[in-house]
Amino acid sequence: MRKNIIIFIIIKFLLIINLYSNEPLSEKTFFSDKDIEKVLKNEIVSRMCVKGNASGENTDLQINVPKTKYTNEDFSIYEVIVDEKAFLPYKMEDMSSKLKFYNILTAYSKLKDMQYYTRMRKKTETFIIDSKRINPDNFSEIEDIVYNEIKPKIINYFFQNDNKFGKLKFKSELYNYDDNFVMVNTCIQPVSKFVFVINKKEETKYISYFFYSKEKQGFFYYSFNVMRVRLKLVLTKNDVMTLNPTLFSSRLRASTVHLAKALNLNWEDKLNPWDEDLLEKGVYKNY
């Protein structure tokens, strides 16, 4: 019996190695050649999908997110998936500039006052009302850490008070390998709206990959937001609570533009990811 268990563990280990060793993790894991061409021309490539497509606004009926050793799960179970691909110019010439980028990613208090474009009101509004790093034991607010070294993995916790779902607490995992970074922010509480519970804890995630190119002097950036939706009413066509994919896409775009601002890039003209006329005409649809 014990021998069989050992054999099973070995086989499982070898399968995991095989899963991630065929191709090294890079921007080409997520970017097509066409995507790379677009983002190097300063375009942002966005997609959005809500299961059932009740609003008829999905760009894709399904968005496939490749598994990696950092995010090894089946994202197809999530009712909401939105993603973005961009190129972030940044000269990372030495450890000082690398540390600067590292500390930008972990400056949770700097998320406060993040702006987004609201399609309903057709204007820019505050998305993140407040944000602070917190103590995971008692959730008290604490200062951001200014790191003086880069580690393979660090874990922080923070809360953000957003204008749609209120105050949410997150676990934030930041990985580094070579000149690349992976950030996984997982909501550690259920998400609700009014009296309605939308999902359970750990069912809302924001995940970002940063692949540095010395040749291009910047990061190929892939970011996506996934969310389980257990309130089936919002996944159906109705006049009150239909979940529109543009809501989540606009919020993800807000994060991209806010990060660009921290890197001294002015991308405010990119805050609205979708032209209303083109959206209504179905121009963005990939099906």
- The per-residue pLDDT for 194 is 87
Residue 193 lies in a domain: yes
Residue 17 lies in a domain: no
Q: Is the pTM of this model over 0.85?
A: yes
Q: What's the total number of domains in the chain? A: 1
The β-bridge relationship of strands 115-118 and 128-134 is unpaired
pLDDT (average), residues 54-80: 97
pLDDT (average), residues 81-99: 97
Cα–Cα distance, 172 to 167 (Å, whole number): 16
Residue 21 lies in a domain: no
Residue 16 lies in a domain: no
User: Is a pLDDT exceeding 50 seen at residue 90?
Assistant: yes
- The per-residue pLDDT for 106 is 98
Between residues 176 and 1, the one the model is more confident about? 176
Cα–Cα distance, 184 to 206 (Å, whole number): 6
Q: Is residue 90 a contact partner of residue 100, using CB atoms and an 8 Å limit?
A: no
User: Is a pLDDT exceeding 50 seen at residue 87?
Assistant: yes
User: Is a pLDDT exceeding 50 seen at residue 78?
Assistant: yes
Residue 14 lies in a domain: no
pLDDT (average), residues 207-223: 98
- The per-residue pLDDT for 11 is 42
pLDDT digits (tens, 9 = 90+) for 93-123: 999 999 999 999 999 999 999 999 999 899 9
- The per-residue pLDDT for 2 is 53
Angle at 157 between CA 155 and CA 158, to 5 degrees: 145
User: Is a pLDDT exceeding 70 seen at residue 220?
Assistant: yes
Q: Grade residue 229 by pLDDT with cuts at 50, 70 and 90.
A: very high
Residue 10 lies in a domain: no
DSSP one-letter string for 100-149? HHHHHHT-GGGGTT-EEEETTTTEEEESEEEEEEE-TTT--EEPPP--SS
DSSP one-letter string for 171-202? EEEEEEETTEEEEEEEE-S--EETTEE---TT
Residue 12 lies in a domain: no
Q: What is the CATH number of the domain that holds 67?
A: 3.30.530
Residue 18 lies in a domain: no
Distant-in-sequence contacts of 273-279, Cβ < 8 A, 24+ apart = 273/44, 273/46, 273/84, 273/117, 273/246, 273/249, 274/46, 274/119, 274/246, 274/249, 276/119, 279/57, 279/246
Query: 3-state class of 281 per DSSP?
Result: helix
> What is the span of the domain harbouring residue 34?
28-281
